[in-house]
């Protein structure tokens, strides 16, 4: 079993579940460690034991969600023949739908509190023509902006339509 998959019902699992809810509800900066531990029915010591810090817990949650999203992006792109616009469009729209389904729009939409490689942009690069790979960062930013709009009360239908508009038609 991978380390990032906690045993169901364990303190680690309860912390992750509470963290997903709290980080999605208020964003990283506004999450209070004492309240988070209370919602997970654990002590702050358990949070520090399992994750080292609030940042460690946040990155665990975020990286797990990003892995799930990237897997879906890869599947959507593979269903489209070749590389290019259609594969990128399919990958980002499927990723948007998955983030909504997982209820992690704010978590994945906000900038992480530490600098790191963007796995969404990294997943897009192989889908783009060789001379256009720098567009991956811009496309990932548009995707994140659409997610943040959902987190701030824009309907997911409207945000998805806006993202689809930015991505252009399938043709």
Determine if the pTM surpasses 0.75.
Answer: yes
pLDDT at 7: 67
Range of the domain at 21: 11-58
In this predicted structure, what is the pLDDT of residue 133?
84
Q: Are 126 and 83 in contact (CB under 8 A)?
A: yes
pLDDT at 170: 58
User: Could you tell me if residue 48 is inside a domain?
Assistant: yes
Asked whether residue 117 is assigned to any structural domain, the reply reads: yes
Q: Are residues 54 and 100 in the same domain?
A: no
Mean pLDDT by 10 residues, the chain (171 residues): 61 94 96 95 94 96 96 95 88 98 97 93 93 92 97 96 89 48
Tally of domains in the chain: 2
- How much is the pLDDT for 169? 73
pLDDT for res 130? 86
Alpha-helical (H) ranges within the chain are 11-26, 33-39, 44-51, 54-79, 85-102, 105-109, 119-124, 135-151, 156-167
Whether 2 is covered by a domain: the verdict is no
Q: How far apart are CA 15 and CA 86, in angstroms?
A: 39
1 in a structural domain: no
Tokens of 142: 């548009």
What are the structure tokens assigned to 92, written together?
């980002």
CATH code for the domain in which residue 39 is found: 1.10.10.60
């Amino acid at each position: 079993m991978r380390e990032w998959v906690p045993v169901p019902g364990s303190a680690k699992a309860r912390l992750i579940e509470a963290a997903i809810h709290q980080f999605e509800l208020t964003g990283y900066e506004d999450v209070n460690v004492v309240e988070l531990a209370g919602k997970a029915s654990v002590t702050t010591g358990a949070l520090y034991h399992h994750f080292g810090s609030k940042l460690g817990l946040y990155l665990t949650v975020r990286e797990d969600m990003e892995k799930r999203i990237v897997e879906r992006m890869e599947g959507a792109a593979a269903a489209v023949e070749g590389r290019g616009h259609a594969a990128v469009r399919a990958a980002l729209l499927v990723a948007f739908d998955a983030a909504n389904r997982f209820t992690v729009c704010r978590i994945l939409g906000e900038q992480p509190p530490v600098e790191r490689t963007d796995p969404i942009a990294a997943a897009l690069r192989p889908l783009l023509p060789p001379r256009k790979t720098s567009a991956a960062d811009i496309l990932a930013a548009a995707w994140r902006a659409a997610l943040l709009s959902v987190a701030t009360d824009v309907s997911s239908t409207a945000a998805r339509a806006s993202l689809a508009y930015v991505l252009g038609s399938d043709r």
